[in-house]
Amino acid sequence: MTPRSDPDKLYVRRMGQDPSHQTREFGSLHAIRRLVEIYRDTMYQCYFPFLPEKDLSARWDNGVPDADCPSYMLLMAICAVSSQTATLNAVFDHSLLEGLVLPASDTYFDEAVSKIPVRIAQSQDLDYLRSFGLLALYSLRCGNHSDLHRYLGLYHGLVAQHGFQDESCWPSDISVSDVDDRRRLFWCVYRLEIHSACVLGHMVRMPESQVSVLYPRITPSMDPEAQAWTAGWDYITDLFRLLEYAIFSLRGCKNRNAVLAVLCDRPAPTTLHDSLSLLKAGKPRILSTDSAFQSNRCKYMAVQISCTETLVNIMALLYCQAPAQEVMELAERFLEEVTGAPLIMFKVASSQIVHQLLGVGHMLCNVSRYYNSQYRSEAKRLIVFLGDLVKNLEHDIPSAAEAAERLLRLAEAT
């Protein structure tokens, strides 16, 4: 890094250049700190808390780390995701955007990517895993599926190398809070991959049957709102684990050797639906619909729980070949609920909510073929409604325009 006349400007050398060559400006140190705050306000609170909140509060307060440190790559990855978020005005606290002038988000992304070493030493520095998770998230939100798989692949390579999927392989001398930070990081990337596997149709690289990692603890020292958020985050993770089994059940291999097939039989038709019912029945009371917690992250979590429950429920109904009318009624109740959510919830969710709505549309199209297609007109009506809902988001979520067109084409084909 080479300081110039303005001490608050951050300049970083291009990879392979010496300090005398032209530098690239990444914005002021103040702007970078603001981007970290934007991540804390949105992605950390609502979807992907890849690193502990105390790090977001203090780690980079004294400046930007050396460009060769994993911490620097992580900072650039956070800035890429947050700059993308800022461009969409997808923040709860709009004061974070006041007077903020930023380079394009891919400037930060490219800088983070340029710092990935050709070979990663025998290091258990979690910043590598966090960076790869954030770069995969950025790629998914951009619709760049090639990069998504590249960074998920790098993440899983390190997980396999260090046994990160098994707590017994973790260092024995780390603190209780460090253990919980590792747990949350692991399940963050798991949820990201299950989401992308569900909407993109790719394989699940780390099935939960191979995982021996617990959830972050809820401790008495937490305030009640933090306890509610943690309980909700853990509950949604349970839903994603059930979603993995729904994916497996609907896509299971149909040409497996008979000798091996008995070892990996799919569950009985009603098992998924029964498991979801048990999971919902055991939902922590602190997550009840009349909860007094009105923080942005708790209100957002309520919407996220509803969306994920519905997605799992529809897939479970499809697997057990439930009556088409039951699927239609569930989808209609879901749409009534989701249309009542404020716009900021959609903006913060971004492509994730668009993916889920598109997935519901495809499942409605599939179920419309049941019972001699007698529910085709009902399915078409709901898919058109979905298409209109998503189209109304096209000025706020870049992926919405294409998704709306796909939904409307799907309605025409139904």
Residue 250 to residue 83: CA distance in whole angstroms: 37
Residue 119 to residue 110: CA distance in whole angstroms: 18
Residue 354 to residue 390: CA distance in whole angstroms: 7
pLDDT for the residue 101: 82
Tokens of 164: 């990160």
Question: Lowest-pLDDT range, 345-349, 384-388, 402-406?
Answer: 345-349
**Residue 213 dihedral angles phi and psi, to the nearest 5°:** -130, 130
Res 112 pLDDT > 80: yes
Question: Which pLDDT tens digit goes with each residue over 217-230?
Answer: 998 888 888 888 89
Give the mean model confidence (pLDDT) for residues 180-202: 93
Tokens of 111: 């800088």
Per-position DSSP letters for 46-114, written without gaps between them? HT---S-HHHHHHTTTT-PPPTTSHHHHHHHHHHHHHHHHHHTT--S-GGGGTT-----HHHHHHHHHH
**Residue 403 dihedral angles phi and psi, to the nearest 5°:** -65, -40
- Residue of 104 and 13 predicted with greater confidence: 104
Q: Match 């974070």 to its residue by tokens.
A: 96
pLDDT for the residue 100: 83
Q: What percentage of residues in the chain have a pLDDT greater than 90?
A: 40
Question: Lowest-pLDDT range, 124-133, 298-307, 397-406?
Answer: 298-307
pLDDT for the residue 12: 40
257: how many CB neighbours lie within 10 A of its CB?
7
Residue 161 to residue 155: CA distance in whole angstroms: 10
pLDDT for the residue 289: 55
Binning the chain into helix, strand and coil, the percentages to the nearest 5 are 65, 5, 35
Residue 315 to residue 321: CA distance in whole angstroms: 10
Give the mean model confidence (pLDDT) for residues 389-407: 88
- First-to-last C-alpha distance (Å) of the chain: 58
Question: Which pLDDT tens digit goes with each residue over 86-106?
Answer: 988 888 888 998 888 888 899
pLDDT confidence tier of residue 388, bands split at 50, 70 and 90? very high
pLDDT for the residue 305: 87
Element (H, E) at 220: none
Give the mean model confidence (pLDDT) for residues 363-374: 78
Mean pLDDT of the chain: 84
- Residue of 349 and 372 predicted with greater confidence: 349
Q: Which of 201-215, 285-299, 320-334 has the highest mean pLDDT?
A: 201-215
pLDDT for the residue 15: 36
Residue 200 to residue 365: CA distance in whole angstroms: 17
pLDDT for the residue 10: 41
**Residue 28 dihedral angles phi and psi, to the nearest 5°:** -75, 160
Question: Lowest-pLDDT range, 21-30, 204-213, 284-293?
Answer: 21-30
Give the mean model confidence (pLDDT) for residues 175-180: 94
- Residue of 357 and 288 predicted with greater confidence: 357
Give the mean model confidence (pLDDT) for residues 284-291: 69
Q: Match 């291009």 to its residue by tokens.
A: 14
Q: If 0-12 CB within 10 Å is exposed, 13-18 middle and 19+ buried, where does residue 100 land?
A: middle
pLDDT for the residue 295: 80
Residue 186 to residue 190: CA distance in whole angstroms: 6
Res 147 pLDDT > 90: yes
Res 144 pLDDT > 50: yes
Give the mean model confidence (pLDDT) for residues 245-274: 75
pLDDT for the residue 2: 34
Question: Which pLDDT tens digit goes with each residue over 334-355?
Answer: 888 888 888 888 888 888 888 8
